[in-house]
Structure 1
Amino acid sequence: MALMPKRVKHRKEQRGRVKGNATRGNKVSFGDWGLQTVEAGFIKGQTIEACRVAATQYVRGEGKLYIRIFPNKPMTARPLETRMGTGKGEPDHWVAVVKPGKVLFELAGVSLEAARECFARVAYKLPVKVRLVGRLPGA
């Protein structure tokens, strides 16, 4: 089941613009290795779930996976072959807004080679460019 909020104040939101770099959630906090975005974008809840499945299948209980993003923005869509001018579409899916520098996933208890292989599988499913980062010593 894809992630989504239990309840929201407003059913529909405007898209908005993603400006600037991430100032929060831009460091590896829970695990040893992290997957950090290099560009801004929207990540669907279904995509986050697919990444979670791919990572947990590779780790197989060896390490722990942390998901640092949550899809809390509704995206609307109009039905196909609908004429113009009938108003805004119904909520279709939920997305997480990510800025450059945001850490999306973290892994704990695995080696660098295992983290690199695991995050390569995850990165293939993501719509944004990402890079592997490690925890800073003493952090």
Structure 2
Amino acid sequence: MMQAFSLTRLLLRPPGFGIVTQVAGMKRFEPPPSFDHIQLPEKPKLPFKDKVPQMPHPAMKPPKSKKRLELMRGPELIHNKLIHQQYGIMALCGGRMHSGHFEMVRMTTNRKMDASRMFAVWRVDGPWQPLTKKGQGKRMGGGKGAIDHYVTPIKAGRIIMELGGKCEFQEALPFLREVAEKLPFKARAVSQEMLEQEALQEKELAAANINPYTAEYVIRNNMGGCWKWISPYDKKWFFKYV
């Protein structure tokens, strides 16, 4: 019965069914990018960052500082673009980097990049803000504690480091992503094309928005008495950075 059924299916198939016909056609591949205009620096690798900032005079006592949380809040307005217009790591929120994070970025990048055709540069200063800490088991009071270590405050949108050279983004993406995931705040690997495309999409969304009651309009006009319960930072950044 089964043999008769399979034979019937074979007889009812249209002619030419299952025959693969090879057709020669012209394929259009995009030309590879040209990196002839890029000049590699003499020292392509990331340099070492000191754990402690250097004082102007050796006898000068390092000053202490407040927490200054405002250095981590809000968007970065200056160092938020790629100078070499290739690739880099961008912070997505505020945070702090100490000497261990700088060393992790330096060692991972220098070990995995091809120094013969790539280069990397820092976009942040070394640790400079002092953080104090009191000894274990000490009572409250007695003034501010001694300096424990130094950090570098980071704002959202800050470029941590840049990578360039004669390479494509897909070559640098694996180790740039690895570095971004190890940082103490949310970060991502970006390219110049990604940043330009996101800026264009943001403008298109703002132009296509037909709702006049945006967050900025509502807060500026104090609609519903929102100033009584929103944060003073929301009055400045309109719920974009918390």
Provide the TM-score with structure 2 as the length reference. 0.52
2:79 maps to 1:22? no
Tell me the CA shift for residue 19 of structure 1. Answer: 2.4
Richer in strand (by share): 1
3-state SS of the aligned residue for 2:156?
Answer: coil
Q: 1:12-36: CA deviations, max 9, x gaps?
A: 1101123210001100113610100
RMSD over aligned Cα atoms: 2.3
Calculate the TM-score normalised by the size of structure 1. 0.87
Q: Does 1:90 align with 2:138?
A: no
The aligned counterpart of 2:136 is 80
Which of 94, 104, 119 is 2:176 aligned to? 119
State how many pairs are aligned. 138
Corresponding residue of 1:7: 55
Cα distance change, pair 108–96 in 1 and its aligned pair in 2 (3 A) = same
Q: Which runs of 5+ in 2 are unaligned?
A: 1-48, 197-242
Structure number with higher relative contact order (C-alpha < 8 Å, ≥ 6 residues apart): 1
More helix by share: 2
Q: Which has the larger radius of gyration?
A: 2
- The residue type paired with residue 122 of structure 2 is I
1:134 maps to 191
The aligned amino acid for 1:57 is: R
Amino acid of the structure 2 residue aligned with 1:67: W
What are the ranges of 5 or more consecutive residues in structure 1 without an aligned counterpart? none
Mapped partners of 2:108, 2:171: distance in 1: 13
| Amino acid in structure 2 at the alignment position of 1:15 | K
Any conservation in 2 of the 1:3–1:49 contact (CA below 8 Å)?
A: no
Deviations 1:28-85 (A, max 9, x none): 1136101000000111122112211111111141411111112221111122222222
